[in-house]
């Protein structure tokens, strides 16, 4: 198994460009199943989750061709309503996104349970309620779930939570349903917007994109399209944290500025200043960083919420950033009850953190971090630990880096371009070094 060896404590400099939005690429790839015609997606990140979903599409009969470094064409003409390979499906959470398009096109779908990050309970009920609202019947057979519908019917559906993947599944089903579907309490994240715009390019009729109410007029068929996926705002937020913890000035090229309001507000609360220069975002991490107290000296907090609030996927990055800023702050992760458990690794590196409960942590900074042996528990916490290692003095070794690579393309190469001292090794060589000491 590969590991990252990191020698931290070195300021970085230079420019880095975010890849395409991972969380947009996955539902857009799933949407290619809605039509037998070719769909070409541009700015697709070459990451493990994307490669796994493409493997699943191929296993269902789709033709997949990379026609450029970040351009992929999927033709699903030969796809049938088969059952995806369970071993592939359990690798990624995004396998659940096959339900909507397969149900819409074939009237039935059988799926094994999805995999993905172990960051707490991740409900499927909202998906099922949306499908049932359009007339589908759902049965659980062993560990599989089977969804059938003689013909999906448009309906007024209120989602019991603004789940991103449930919204995406509901939209992909509704675009082929008979009549109008109104989807209320829908998620509105940038990746949901990307999916909706791809579907419109394919011939769907969707109104209210970017809001929490989507009106969808069903159509009889969808066609092929070419669509460019937007830059990843979560990766951009990770690079803001990178500049802050390493006390570096970093230029983020072609940042998705229209999607960064809540992100910049959250990092500004941690004392991180950024500026915009000709479409790029410049992180001034080399300046003094002080956590901004609330009025009357109250301890401030950074908390996540449904879009357009601060993204849940950036709470791990915000927490590490707080360890390097002066002051006290409460980090409140409301969505997943296991996402904060990586904080014990940071405490072992010298951070001052009180984990109040599974959702809240109080961070007192700044801390002088030291290198350590670490293990990535999930994509975002793994990236947060990598940032901590780059900020720490001394050597760190990060295990289970495939979790990081599921969401960040060639991250070691790109960080080396900024001057980071990071190398990717196979575990066997690392074991040999340890035994030789």
Which residues have CB under 8 Å from 56's CB, separation 6+? 84, 85, 88, 89, 95, 98
Angle between helix 48-59 and 22-31 (nearest 10): 10
Closest of 14, 24, 390 to residue 233, by C-alpha:
24
Which residues have CB under 8 Å from 402's CB, separation 6+? 1, 2, 48
Closest of 237, 280, 231, 238 to residue 20, by C-alpha:
231
**Which is the catalytic residue, given 49, 117, 304, 313?**
117
280 has catalytic annotation: no
* C-alpha dihedral sign at 45, 28, 195, 76: positive
Contact, 17 vs 253, CB < 8 A?
A: yes
> Could you list the active site residues?
117
């Amino acid at each position: 198994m590969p590991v990252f060896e990191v020698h931290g404590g070195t300021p970085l400099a230079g420019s880095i460009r975010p890849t395409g939005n991972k969380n947009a690429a996955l539902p857009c790839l799933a949407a290619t199943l809605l039509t037998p015609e070719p769909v070409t997606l541009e700015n697709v990140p070459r990451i493990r989750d994307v490669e796994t979903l493409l493997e699943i599409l191929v296993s269902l009969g789709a033709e997949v061709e990379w026609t450029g470094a970040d351009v992929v064409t999927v033709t699903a003409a030969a796809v049938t309503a088969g059952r995806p390979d369970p071993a592939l499906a359990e690798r990624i959470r995004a396998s659940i996104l096959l339900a909507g398009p397969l149900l819409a096109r074939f009237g039935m779908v059988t799926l094994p349970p999805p995999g993905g990050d172990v960051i707490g309970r991740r409900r499927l009920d909202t998906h099922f309620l949306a499908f049932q609202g359009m007339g589908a019947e759902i049965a659980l057979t062993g560990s599989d779930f089977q969804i059938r519908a003689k013909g999906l019917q448009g309906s007024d559906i209120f989602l019991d939570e603004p789940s991103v993947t449930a919204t995406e599944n509901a939209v992909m089903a509704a675009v082929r349903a008979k009549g109008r579907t109104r989807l209320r309490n829908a998620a509105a994240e940038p990746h949901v917007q990307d999916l909706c715009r791809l579907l419109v390019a394919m011939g769907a009729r969707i109104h209210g994109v970017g809001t929490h109410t989507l009106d969808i007029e069903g159509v009889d068929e969808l066609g092929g399209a070419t669509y460019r996926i937007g830059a990843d705002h979560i990766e951009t937020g990770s690079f803001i944290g990178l500049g802050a913890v390493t006390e570096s000035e970093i230029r983020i090229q072609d940042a998705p500025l229209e999607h960064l309001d809540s992100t910049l507000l959250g990092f500004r609360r941690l004392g991180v200043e950024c500026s915009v220069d000709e479409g790029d975002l410049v992180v001034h991490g080399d300046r003094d960083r002080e956590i901004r107290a609330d009025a009357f000296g109250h301890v401030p907090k950074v908390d996540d919420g449904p879009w357009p609030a601060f993204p849940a996927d950036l709470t791990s990055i915000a927490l590490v950033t707080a360890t390097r800023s002066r002051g006290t702050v409460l980090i409140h992760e409301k969505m997943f009850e296991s996402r904060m458990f990586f904080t014990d690794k940071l405490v072992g590196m010298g951070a001052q953190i009180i984990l109040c409960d599974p959702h809240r942590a109080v961070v007192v900074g700044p801390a002088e971090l030291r290198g350590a042996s670490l293990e990535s528990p999930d994509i975002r916490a793994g990236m947060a630990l990598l940032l901590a290692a780059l900020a720490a003095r001394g050597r760190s070794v990060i295990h289970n880096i495939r979790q990081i690579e599921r969401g960040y393309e060639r991250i070691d190469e790109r960080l080396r371009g900024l001057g980071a001292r990071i190398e990717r090794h196979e575990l066997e060589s690392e074991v040999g070094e340890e035994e030789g000491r």
